[in-house]
Amino acid sequence: MSKSVLLSIVLPAKNESLAIGATVSRIRALYPEAEILVVNDGSSDNTAEVAQAAGATVVAHPYSKGNGAAIKTGARAATGDILVFMDADGQHDPADIQRLLERINAGADMVVGARQSGSQASVGRGVANRFYNRLASYMVGHEVEDLTSGFRAVRAAKFREFLYLLPNGFSYPTTSTMAFFRAGYSVEYIPIQAARRIGRSHIRIMRDGLRFLLIIFKIGTLYSPLKLFGPIALSFWGAGASWYAYTFATSYRFTNMSALMFSVGTLVFLMGLVSEQITALMYKDS
């Protein structure tokens, strides 16, 4: 990074006392001039003290607000022109920061560390992430290699444009990625290997399963709702037409079921059309 460009590295942390000290120390050794912000999200252990002793500036939440809220707090508090977000649990290698910054220097607006095979926490999450990546790729028309990776570098001014869109929970990577694509900003990926986290994960499959399912719909509504609602509407119209063809061939009738299918398809399409206009207003330049 040029000396005239300030770098801020933001680490959201909740009960990460086992890993945060080593993570901050490794970052500090590589980037002695960088601003390292640890956002302590209501930890019940000594995460804040360990991070501060290792050389980080700690910004504290009085209670746990969520990973996305910690990211927003860090983005607001950071003074750098370039922001790097990474996990505090030891999964991300600070040595990879330089590779992210190289692509930023080359002109990218956001660079994401794409986890390679073997880097997923579990088989189930790996399958889910592959599904999210394919859906997002369909929506934006570009290959999305890792939609949910929390290791990324962004231009601070552009990232702050979308803070109001980011949820307080764990899906901030999805929201920010789709927002950048929608705004026409350049998004690039570099391959990384994520290590096994130190300590216990804060994600629970049963508790967070429905929330991750809602990410699928958020992907559509954040980018192009008609790409999501359109195929659903076509499936209802197709079902109505098929049922009408069958009932007409067997009894020369147009049934209530066919009318229902056509009506539902039309309503879904109109919902998508209205959502498309609302989405366009969300990204209108202020």
Question: What's the pLDDT score for residue 1?
Answer: 54
Measure the N-to-C terminal CA separation of the chain; round to a whole number of Å. Answer: 30
Which one of 176, 192, 222 terminates a domain?
222
Residue 72 in any domain: the answer is: yes
Instruction: Please indicate, yes or no, whether residues 212 and 242 belong to a single structural domain of this protein.
Output: no
State the pTM of this model.
Answer: 0.80
Q: Does 43 fall in a domain?
A: yes
Residues 6+ apart with CB under 8 A from 279: 182, 221, 222, 223, 224, 225
Q: Looking at residue 182, what is its pLDDT?
A: 87
Q: Are residue 114 and residue 246 in the same domain, yes or no?
A: no
- For residue 99, the enclosing domain spans 7-222
In a domain, 2, yes or no: no
Dist CA 24 CA 44 (whole Å):
19
| Total structural domains within the chain | 2
Do 174 and 217 touch, CB atoms closer than 8 A?
A: no
Asked whether residue 212 falls in the same domain as residue 240, the answer is: no
| Same structural domain, 215 and 112 | yes
> What CATH number is given to the structural domain containing 105?
3.90.550.10
Both 82 and 151 in a single domain?
A: yes
The CA dihedral of 178, 180, 183, 184, to the nearest 10 degrees, is: -110
Are residues 160 and 115 part of one domain? Answer: yes
pLDDT-based confidence at residue 94 (cuts at 50, 70, 90): very high
What is the DSSP pairing of strand 152-155 with strand 82-85?
Answer: antiparallel
- Residue 118: what pLDDT? 63
Give the model's confidence band at 238: pLDDT under 50 very low, under 70 low, under 90 confident, else very high.
very high
100-106: long-range contacts (C-beta < 8 A, 24 or more apart)? 100/151, 100/152, 100/153, 100/190, 101/1, 101/7, 101/153, 103/153, 103/188, 103/190, 104/153, 104/155, 105/1, 105/2
User: Are 28 and 114 members of one domain?
Assistant: yes
- Do 211 and 255 fall within a single domain? no
Q: Tell me what the mean pLDDT of segment 178-187 comes to.
A: 91
